[in-house]
């Protein structure tokens, strides 16, 4: 063969090889995208990624990475930071509450005004950003994070839409309205939950005249798949717990993200308070399914079981916090359990197949709105707010904790949570409202518990035994992250990202970011290097309570901002 022909043949073979390799890469990428829900089901096999809000479907907020551990954490330093930029509305509201997601070396972050960013997870180098146009009447805050799967990134918006973006380009794929925000005054403030080919989302609105629900959209098309109303209509099971037309405006929001058991194909979701919050004379009865945890068939949204934690709620005691799914041996038998905390100050341990009540314990040091729980987990002699006395309800309407989720470590067997230890007085009042109106049914005044400081605690979830307590200056608004390095990561409102020893509660590391922290830390790795990421800048409505409860904080807390900080151990010299 002459040289030109030989060169042409070699070039042709090389081009064919490149085309074949490219096809294989595209096929692999397509296959990975299609398998992402299955990858989330087996998240423990991919500790380098953080593919769903809590890190896994069981809401553990746990990372199996251990490069950063009790011995090495003192060397932890900022690796890079990513500012999201300022909101562009006339009256900006800053803040960054969102937890990032990470898959295959790319980090995705939801910023203010429902903007979305994709960056290189090792360097912070921007890859693309998506700017969402909010209606002029809406706020400028973002939300608490994203969902991912099928080659797309999903977010809920402040004007009550769910949006799918192409994960490679940031281009909008579909945009579905949940319900008109002009009518319900509700929105999506927490990440959706991707389950197989469904995107499941809750809504806010529990403190308004609104009927709550969960909604599932087809993940590829955005079409409505099913909707579960948290308050039954007349004739449906549970409707007898509502009087007259009160069910139409009865609350029951679903504003925090739930969890999922792939083996049982069941979704677990915490349901919010009844409306009006403090005035209950117009709605006698237990008011199902408010202040409950519900289990739904993931394919249909049909109710499988429920457990109501605060019947006829008069205190704004949402049962919103994340349902934590663990397997354990009880009395010699293996059980599938759900460990669920309520704003009412108690933790409930239930059989997650049947909803059977097994046990409970308080995660606050003081719970006085009830004399305790009976053998079925129901409150004993609950005190009714009447506005005629100055009885200090503990916890108050802010709850034992709020949106800031817990963590569970299978290594230590401990469940880690924040305890606000904030109390309140209530003054109920009757209100006449229309749909979408604020519907508190009175007022409340929250104060610091005069006897107990706010803290972070660790519990054995099966016995309720407290392992340790770490006091905090103000109540802690960050979520918690547990790692296989036996560390608990969090942040505070003075801007300190910190790590606690998971076995003792001792603080072993901190770094001041200069921005309030009210977000969930996450862990991931790229090319064998572990990173801890935490959003800073605040943005939570609950932050506004701080000056009222701690007047000395005025002028001493960081200003609102919006920056993701990412930490790592120093790189080893080659």
Among all residues, which ones are annotated catalytic?
A: 316
The per-type count for the chain, helices as H runs and strands as E runs, is: 4, 37
CB count within 10 Å of CB 133 equals: 9
Query: Would strands 481-483 and 62-63 be described as parallel, antiparallel, or unpaired?
Result: parallel
In the beta sheet, which residues pair with residue 78? 567
- Using CA atoms, how far residue 329 sits from 239, 267, 347, 462, in Å, is 37, 22, 19, 9
- 458 vs 478: CA distance, rounded Å: 16
CA-atom Rg of the chain in angstroms: 24
Tokens encoding 376: 């079925």
Q: What is the DSSP string of 235-282?
A: TSTTGGGS-TTGGGGEE----S--EEETTTTEEEEE---BSSSS--TT
Q: In what order do the strands lie in the sheet with 172-177?
A: 147-149, 152-156, 161-166, 172-177
Tokens encoding 265: 């194909």
Q: Which residues contact 174 (CB under 8 A, 6 or more apart)?
A: 163, 164, 221, 222
**Whether 532 contacts 75, CB under 8 Å:** no
Query: Would strands 250-251 and 210-211 be described as parallel, antiparallel, or unpaired?
Result: parallel
- Using CA atoms, how far residue 324 sits from 1, 18, 176, 344, in Å, is 69, 47, 29, 17
The runs of H, that is alpha helices, within 87-187 are 181-184
- What three-state secondary structure class fits 73? helix
**Whether 222 contacts 164, CB under 8 Å:** yes
| 3-state helix, strand and coil shares in percent for the chain, rounded to the nearest 5 | 10, 35, 55
Distance of CA 15 to the CA centre of its chain: 48
Sign of the alpha-carbon dihedral angle for 355, 358, 363, 369: positive
CB count within 10 Å of CB 311 equals: 17
- DSSP summary character for residue 520: -
Tell me which residue of 477, 514, 484 sits closest to 496, measured CA to CA.
514
- Give the position of tokens 């907020």: 61
Q: What does the H/E/C string look like for 367-385?
A: CCCCCCECCCCCECCCCCC
The runs of H, that is alpha helices, within 370-481 are none
């Amino acid at each position: 063969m002459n040289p030109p022909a030989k060169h042409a043949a070699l070039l042709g073979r090389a081009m064919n090889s490149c085309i074949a390799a490219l096809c294989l890469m595209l096929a692999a990428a397509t296959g990975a995208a299609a398998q992402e829900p299955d990858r989330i089901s087996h998240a423990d096999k991919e500790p380098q990624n953080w593919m769903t809000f809590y890190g896994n479907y069981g809401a553990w907020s746990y990372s199996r990475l251990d490069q950063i551990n009790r011995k090495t954490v003192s060397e932890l330093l900022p690796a890079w930071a990513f500012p999201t930029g300022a909101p562009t509305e006339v009256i900006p509201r800053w803040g960054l509450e969102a937890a990032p997601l990470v898959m295959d070396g790319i980090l995705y972050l939801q910023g203010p005004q429902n903007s979305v960013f994709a960056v290189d997870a090792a360097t912070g180098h921007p890859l693309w950003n998506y700017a969402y146009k909010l209606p002029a009447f809406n706020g400028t805050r973002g939300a608490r994070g994203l969902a991912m799967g099928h080659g797309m990134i999903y977010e809920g918006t402040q004007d009550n839409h769910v949006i799918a973006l192409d994960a490679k380009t940031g281009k909008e794929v579909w945009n579905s309205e949940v319900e008109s925000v002009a009518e319900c005054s509700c929105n999506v403030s927490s990440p959706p939950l991707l389950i197989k080919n469904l995107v499941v989302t809750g809504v806010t609105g529990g403190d308004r005249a609104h009927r709550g629900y969960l909604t599932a959209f087809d993940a590829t098309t955005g079409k409505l798949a099913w909707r579960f109303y948290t308050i039954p209509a007349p004739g449906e099971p549970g409707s007898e717990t509502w009087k007259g037309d009160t069910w139409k405006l009865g609350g029951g929001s679903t504003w925090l993200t739930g969890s999922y058991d792939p083996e049982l194909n069941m979704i677990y979701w915490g349901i919010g308070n009844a409306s009006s919050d403090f005035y209950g004379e117009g709605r006698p009865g237990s008011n199902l399914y408010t202040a409950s945890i519900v289990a739904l068939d993931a394919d249909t949204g049909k109710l499988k079981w429920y457990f109501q934690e605060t019947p006829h709620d008069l205190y704004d005691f949402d049962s919103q916090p994340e349902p934590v799914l663990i397997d354990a041996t009880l009395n010699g038998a293996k059980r599938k359990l759900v460990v669920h905390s309520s704003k009412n100050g108690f933790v409930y341990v239930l059989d997650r197949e049947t909803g059977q009540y097994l046990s409970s314990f308080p995660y606050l040091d003081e719970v006085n709105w009830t004399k305790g729980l009976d053998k079925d987990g129901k409150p004993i002699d609950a005190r009714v707010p009447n506005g005629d006395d100055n009885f200090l309800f503990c916890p108050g309407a802010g709850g034992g904790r709020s949106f800031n989720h817990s963590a569970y470590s299978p290594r230590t067997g401990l469940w880690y949570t924040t305890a606000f230890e904030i109390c309140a007085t209530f003054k109920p009042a009757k209100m006449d409202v229309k749909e979408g109106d604020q519907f508190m049914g009175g007022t409340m005044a929250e104060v610091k518990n005069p006897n107990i400081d706010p803290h972070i605690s660790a519990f054995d979830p099966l016995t309720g035994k407290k392992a340790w307590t770490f006091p905090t200056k103000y109540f802690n608004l960050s979520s918690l992250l547990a790692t296989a390095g036996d560390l608990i990561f969090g942040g505070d409102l003075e801007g300190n990202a910190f790590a606690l020893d998971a076995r003792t509660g001792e603080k072993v590391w901190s770094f001041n970011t200069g921005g309030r922290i009210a977000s969930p830390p996450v862990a991931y790795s790229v090319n064998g290097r572990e990173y801890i990421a935490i959003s800073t800048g605040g943005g939570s409505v609950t932050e506004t309570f701080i000056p009222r409860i701690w007047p000395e904080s005025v002028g001493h807390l960081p200003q609102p901002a919006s920056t993701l900080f990412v930490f790592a151990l120093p790189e080893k010299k080659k």
